[in-house]
Structure 1
């Protein structure tokens, strides 16, 4: 009995020893990154985290373009590192409390034609963070007429570089590719659509196509498909299904009233609010549907595209100013120089 107890004790001790050794090894690996576990070091890391949160929340941050509503100015693609990444000046409109719409101070507002990042006014929006162009300012009367923006009864032309880009419409349509994308999303769910009569011949055709495509897209992340993939999957889809789908979405999409109706509540922008539209007007869910955006929802002004490198852009001309060049070149060189100086200092102490 005693020998068995001694063997169990030995095994338990060996297991405890291995566990302790593993914990020491893990701690060593973590300390190689974080440094020693001291109160002073903890304070340093808390300071770094606070600085990062302050910079991202109040000074500058980067955002990904999730959709094609701002094309051709900005390319949207939810796939990893495919869509444009924009840099946003959050200090311009006043610092906010991070992760909220509460602004500590209001220092100014955007100008017409600025591109801004903001929190959606609809709490149930598919994309909670959006990017659009400022078209109407507080107190103005705005109207979209034959592709042009009419402010207080007068046509306001966009800046010359944007004249061939911006043409606003009072209706949203689905092009052929977008119809096929929507069909794939419906096929993935493969559920009946509300307000459609399942006994109607065209509806039966649509449901048959959804059923046929369901197995092909059931386990596919549809947002990662490119245009060629969509075309290949929908190569032999019955045109009747796509036609019916376009009619269905025209019934269920949000009503377009703001900037379209002459009624004061839909044409006069309240104080401290803005009218924001997508550059890809015919395929953009924007202020025409969800209305005016309050100032405290504005995160900041987009001033550059930093990725992909082949599409890099400077929207505000900051890269031609002394402070812009300082941010782009001076700060990185300063960090490199500081690291070089510290390395020499450490070497001289050895």
Structure 2
């Protein structure tokens, strides 16, 4: 009788190890899927956000921020532009205009509801040829985005306002290259 039980014990240990291995792999797959759904990554594709974001930097994007709250002026946002072709990566720009606001570009400066927007993150003024005088009145679900490098940015000035459902998420962390790792944050407060 003991001879029969001895061979069963290694099988039980093998089954226990196999179950643990399968459980661990399933847990890792579930965690990876959850992370990709809530905190996807994105690559800065152009110079349009210089000097604050440089081409080829890697960012972590939060979808949760906008499930729990509304996009805020100054957020660096990843979104699909209206004129994005299939297979093209989403754009990364700064949120400038909020729903219901009147946004005006006049003499190279941005005005929100008639008040000039203070933009200390800009490295150089926008040339008048790139920032032509124009007015946009944003609807209740429209947002206006501009690159920090205004003279080299394809943004809402070209393709117009973006609807809420086109927004993917807010850039929260720059993680690559390691020397520039940091949390991305800029807020305007209550007024432009």
TM-score computed with the length of structure 2 as normaliser: 0.76
Residue 149 (structure 1) aligned to one of 95, 110, 125: 110
1:84 is the counterpart of 2:84:
no
Shift in Å, 1:41: 5.1
CA deviation profile, 1:302-336 (whole Å, cap 9, x unmatched): 1221111222232239xxxxxxxxxxxxxxxxxxx
CA deviation profile, 1:218-254 (whole Å, cap 9, x unmatched): xxxxxxxxxxxxxxxxxxxxxxxxxxxxxxxxxxxxx
Unaligned runs of 5+ in 2: 1-16, 187-192
Q: How does 1:1-350 map to 2 (within 5 A)?
A: 36=18, 42=22, 44-58=24-38, 60-76=39-55, 83-94=56-67, 107-124=68-85, 127-158=88-119, 160=120, 162=121, 164-165=122-123, 167-169=125-127, 171-172=129-130, 260-262=133-135, 267-316=136-185
Shift in Å, 1:156: 1.8
Unaligned runs of 5+ in 1: 1-34, 77-82, 95-106, 173-255, 318-350
SS state at 1:92 partner: helix
| CA distance in structure 1 between the partners assigned to 2:23 and 2:69 by the alignment | 35
| CA distance in structure 1 between the partners assigned to 2:165 and 2:124 by the alignment | 26
| CA distance in structure 1 between the partners assigned to 2:69 and 2:139 by the alignment | 16
Q: CA 1:125–1:68 in 2, change beyond 3 Å: closer, same or farther?
A: farther
Superposed CA RMSD in Å reads 2.6
Bigger fraction of residues in helix: 1
Bigger fraction of residues in strand: 2
How many residue pairs align between the two structures?
Answer: 170
Q: Rg larger in 1 or in 2?
A: 1
| CA distance in structure 2 between the partners assigned to 1:169 and 1:116 by the alignment | 24
SS state at 2:40 partner: strand
Shift in Å, 1:295: 1.5
Query: Could you tell me which residue of structure 1 aligns to residue 12 of structure 2?
Result: none
| CA distance in structure 2 between the partners assigned to 1:43 and 1:280 by the alignment | 48
